[in-house]
Structure formats: C-alpha cells, structure tokens
Amino acid sequence: MKQVLFGKSQLQVPAVVVGCMRMNGLEQKEAEQFVKTAIDMGANFFDHADIYANGLCEEMFGTILKENPGMREKLIIQSKCGIVPGIMYDCSKQHILQSVDRILKRLQTDYLDCLLLHRPDALMEPEEVAEAFDELKSAGKVRYFGVSNQKPSQIKLLSRWLNQEIEANQLQFSITNSNMVRNGMEVNMMTEGAVERDGSVLDFCRLHDITIQTWSPFQYGFFEGVFIGNPKFEELNKVLEEMAEKYNVTPTGIATAWILRHPANMQMISGTMKIERLKEICKGAEICLERNDWYRIYLAAGHILP
C-alpha cells in the first residue's frame, strides 16, 4: 500500500482510507470480515463520523474492536463531528467534547487518532474550538486534528487560536468533480472552470502541509451517481477501459490512480463495503499513471486545456 505523510506529523498513513459511512448495510460478521481483509491489504485507516447511520456504523466498528483484542493498535481511526442533521452545524466547545465522548463510547476505544470538524459552522468561535482541542489532546482522547470541507480563510481563522496543527482537510474530488485542478489551469479565463469556488484550497493545503482526503472519488455532481460505467460519460469510460487494460487493473483502479497521481500526496476515501471493489481500489493505489495518461483521462471527462 502506498504511504503518505499525514499533515505535518511524522505519521505514515495509507493512501487509501476506508470510509465507513455504509457499514450499517452489512451484517455484523460481514463487517468484521471486511475490516480484517482491509487490514490485510494495508488499508488500516478507517474514517467515521458521528452522523453515519446515527452512530450505528461506529457501534458496529466498536463491536469488532471488542471482539478482536489487539486489533485497535493496528488501526488508525478517524471520526468527525459538528453536524446536527437537518438542524444546524455546531462547533461549540460543549458539542465537540460531548460528541467525542459519545464517539469513543460507540467505538469502544480510549482515543481517536484524528478528529475532524465535519462542516464549517457559521457561528463557530475559534477560541472555543481551541479550548476543546486542548482538553481532548491533554486527556489523550484525540491525537491529531483536522477539518472537512473548509477553504483556506476558514482554516487560517481557526489556526490563529489553535495550539495544534490542522493535519487534514476532507474535500470532494474525483475525475469529474475536479474544480480544485481546473481552477488552477483555466486562470484568467471566462470559462466555467476558471470560477474561483474554494479559495485555491489545493495550493493552500500543499503550501501548509495539510493532507487532502478526497471524498466521493467515483461520484459526479453532488451524490448524483457513479461515473464509472455510466452512459452519461461515454468518452471517459472508453478511456478508463483502455487504461485499465494497459495497467492491468479495473476502471475503478484507474480512477483511484488518477487521484493519487497528483503530487499533493492525497488520501482517497473509499466508501465501498465490498471486498472485491476494495481490492480493485488498493491495486489501483499501487499504480503511477504516466503524465500523458493522466491528462488524457482529464480531457475525456470534458475538461479543457486552454
């Protein structure tokens, strides 16, 4: 498994993160077998959030840890908090501290390797977040911290008060949803890709050694569907099939390799709960696409080179 540095820390982490949002779709024994298989493949970084199936995904994972003594030390476990579904975002000190305690209880562990703030809270007071992070760090409940779906100015604002580094930022990114890249190549143009939507977050994270974790790596739009095998993306799938044959992997593996080929050393969050698909993803993570192949895939998705 390809390894990358996690933010400014010296922690080496796998390039493929196992997203656990759909774990509740498995039976408990199936989930256990899936986790064990992922570990065997070197994918030992697991991403949770307190809202996934209203905490059930974390509960299932906690049962796996309880029934497999010694497993916890082999894993890197990350979770997220800050969303009160359908009501509000809450990054208050009280909510963060309460959320982490509940997360730890559900996961049946004493600590998280990393905690992310799930969404930007318009009413966030960075001083409160800093106090919460300090308490969690000193209590040994959280080792590293990060954010999700935040732009540079929001990270700068938060970092002004923090005593910890922001190690990661989760952002939507795929072959089709690649405005982070398009924006940097269609500079000073009147094209759709030239529209500034994220404050140049890709460059910002690279400059500040913040690991980008990409979510929905096989989706187009905002949860509109998967582009692989989708007739809406005929040219892209034609090229993916061709590249899959060239590199001896599947189109899923190529889509994985495309993300991980970027020199930002991203982590790709895989949301699958199917062992065979995870194997395809992990195999793709071992590939380094040739430069011309990376650009050919980019163009096949409908992007342009000015």
Spatial separation of the C-alpha atoms in residues 152 and 37, rounded to whole Å: 37
Dihedral sign, Cα of residue 295, residue 219, residue 156, residue 194 = positive
* Given the residues 52, 220, 247, 298, the one annotated as active site: 52
Q: In DSSP terms, which residues pair with 211 in a beta bridge?
A: 168
- Domain that residue 60 falls in: 3-300
pLDDT over 90 at 119, yes or no = yes
Taking Cα atoms as reference points, which of 180, 187, 175, 253 lies closest to residue 217? 175
Q: In DSSP terms, which residues pair with 145 in a beta bridge?
A: 115, 166
Note the pLDDT tens digit of each residue in 212-246.
Answer: 999 999 999 888 899 999 999 999 999 999 999 99
Amino acid at 57: C
Residue 112 near residue 142 (C-beta atoms within 8 A): yes
Note the pLDDT tens digit of each residue in 149-197.
Answer: 999 999 999 999 999 999 999 999 999 999 999 999 999 999 999 898 9
- Phi, psi (deg, nearest 5) at residue 87: -120, -55
Segment among 92-101, 184-193, 255-264 with least mean pLDDT: 184-193
> Is 208 part of any domain?
yes
> Is 177 part of any domain?
yes
Q: Output the domain CATH number for residue 273.
A: 3.20.20.100
The three-point CA angle 149-153-159 to 5° equals 90
> Is 305 part of any domain?
no
Name the token pair of 252: 């899923």
Residue 211 near residue 155 (C-beta atoms within 8 A): no
Q: Would you call 52 a catalytic residue per the annotation?
A: yes
> Is 157 part of any domain?
yes
> Is 306 part of any domain?
no
> Is 22 part of any domain?
yes
Taking Cα atoms as reference points, which of 124, 3, 7, 99 lies closest to residue 48? 99
Residue 273 near residue 23 (C-beta atoms within 8 A): yes
Q: How many domains does the chain have?
A: 1
Q: pTM to 2 decimals?
A: 0.96
Count helices and strands (H / E) in the chain: 11, 14
